[in-house]
Structure 1
Amino acid sequence: MTIELTILLSIVSVSAAVYFGLSGVRRDQKNDDMQETAQLTTVLVKLENINNGINKIESKMDRVESETRANSEKLIKVEESTKQAHKRIDEIVQKGGIDSEN
């Protein structure tokens, strides 16, 4: 009878150890999954922030490009106007309207 009690006690002990071991593994796996999910969420949020920053930079670059084009057009007009003004000044000087030695 003592052998049966010992065997029964051993079987109960092994069963309890297996049960608690498996439940510990499941709990650890669940915690690992939660931590991994939190890390992936953090990475996704950071990537979205980077994407938003890039979109803002692209928008600003578009504005800078359009302003540069506008400034180039204005510069061309100013150069043309200056060129015409110099021609008129040269014509006036050639006609003798202004003393060119001064």
Structure 2
Amino acid sequence: MTIEIGVIIATASVIIGFFTFNRNRDKDVKSDATESAIIRTKLDNIGQSVDSIRIDFKASDQRWTALSETVIRIDESTKQAHKRSDQIEKKGDV
């Protein structure tokens, strides 16, 4: 009788342990899936932010290029104006 009770208790313990293991495993899978979804969402947001920064950088680079070209043209124009004023001064000195 005592052995039968021990076998019944041992069997019940194994069954309870198995179901507990399965239940906890399912919770772990759900938890991992939730964490994975959160990480993917955050990575997508980071990727979109990087793309936005890249677009802003390209626009800024284009503005700097245009500004640089304008400065070069103004510098050339100033040099020509100085040459003309030097020529006018030379004519006036004569």
TM-score category, normalised to shorter length = 0.7 to 0.9
Aligned residue for 1:45, secondary structure, equals helix
Aligned residue for 1:95, secondary structure, equals helix
CA RMSD of aligned residues (A): 1.6
Gaps of 5+ in 1: none
Partners of 1:76 and 1:18 lie apart in 2 by: 85
1:56 corresponding residue in structure 2? 52
1:38 corresponding residue in structure 2? 34
Identity of aligned pairs, percent? 32
Displacement of 1:87 after TM fit?
1.1
Displacement of 1:33 after TM fit?
0.9
Relative to the length of structure 2, the TM-score reads 0.87
2:87 corresponding residue in structure 1? 91
2:61 pairs with one of 54, 58, 65? 65
Displacement of 1:7 after TM fit?
4.3
Displacement of 1:15 after TM fit?
2.3
Greater C-alpha radius of gyration: 1
Aligned residue for 1:77, secondary structure, equals helix
Q: Which is helix-richer, 1 or 2? A: 2
One-letter code aligned to 1:25 = F
Gaps of 5+ in 2: none
Partners of 2:78 and 2:3 lie apart in 1 by: 110
Relative to the length of structure 1, the TM-score reads 0.81
